[in-house]
Amino acid sequence: MQALTAPTGGRDRNAAVLPLPAFNDNYIWAIVRGGDAAVVDPGDAGPVLQLLDQLGLRLRAILLTHHHGDHVGGVPELSRIEGITVYGPAREQLPRCDVRLAEGDRVAIPELDLDLAVLDVPGHTAGHIAYFGRAAGQEPVLFCGDTLFAAGCGRLFEGTPAQMYDSLGKFAVLPPDTQVFCAHEYTLGKV
């Protein structure tokens, strides 16, 4: 991972959503404000621990979209950090989940200027969720896990085409200026 500097941008000069590359094509999203951070879908603890160390941040929360290992694999190691809360889909088997979420629930962490509504978006997995709202002074934002990518949607491992169609329909009605944070980079060619 490249060296990171203190975030700038958003309403707060110390607020940002940062990409943490993992594995071959995953993104772990770090929501950072001041000395606090939350991460979305940490499949690998390494990039998260490096960010926390480099920027002197305290991890407050982990947000999970679904149960696949490349999204939850880092949770056991990160769970050793005192004082964090793990949020995740109510209908998925997860290594740890302190707050189980379903559509209509909200995740609010004022220290991070984080206020996200939960959307049920089955298709890729049966209990997949997404988070929509405001994070680190940026609005609107969507953390969609493996439901939506730049070049398409996630594979149907547990859900049906009809479920995926309905899930994508929920994204289609979001404001057009929504920043989409998907969990994989599939637009770059492999050399």
pLDDT digits 0-9 by tens, 134-163: 987 778 999 998 876 666 666 767 888 888
pLDDT digits 0-9 by tens, 9-41: 444 446 899 999 888 888 999 999 999 999 999
* Sheet of 15-22, strand order: 15-22, 26-33, 36-40, 58-63, 85-89, 99-101
In this predicted model, which residue has the larger pLDDT, 191 or 120? 120
> Of 36, 41, 66, 120, which one is the catalytic site residue?
66
> Of 71, 113, 120, 128, which one is the catalytic site residue?
71
Q: Decide if pLDDT at 4 tops 50.
A: no
In the annotation, is 41 catalytic? no
Rounded Cα distance, 27 and 110, in Å: 24
In the annotation, is 128 catalytic? no
Cα 149 to Cα 2, 63, 141, 155, 188, distances in angstroms: 24, 19, 14, 11, 12
Q: Decide if pLDDT at 51 tops 90.
A: yes
In the annotation, is 66 catalytic? yes
Rounded Cα distance, 144 and 132, in Å: 8
In the annotation, is 67 catalytic? no
Question: What is the structure's pLDDT at 23?
Answer: 82
> Of 41, 67, 120, 124, which one is the catalytic site residue?
124
For residue 43, what are the contacts with CB-CB under 8 A and spacing of at least 6? 22, 23, 26, 28, 68, 69, 70, 71, 72, 73, 74
Question: What is the structure's pLDDT at 91?
Answer: 95
In the annotation, is 98 catalytic? no
> Of 36, 70, 113, 120, which one is the catalytic site residue?
70
For residue 140, what are the contacts with CB-CB under 8 A and spacing of at least 6? 132, 133, 134, 174, 175, 177, 178, 179
188 band by pLDDT with thresholds 50, 70 and 90:
low
> Of 36, 44, 68, 128, which one is the catalytic site residue?
68
pLDDT digits 0-9 by tens, 92-113: 999 999 999 999 999 999 999 9
Question: What is the structure's pLDDT at 95?
Answer: 96
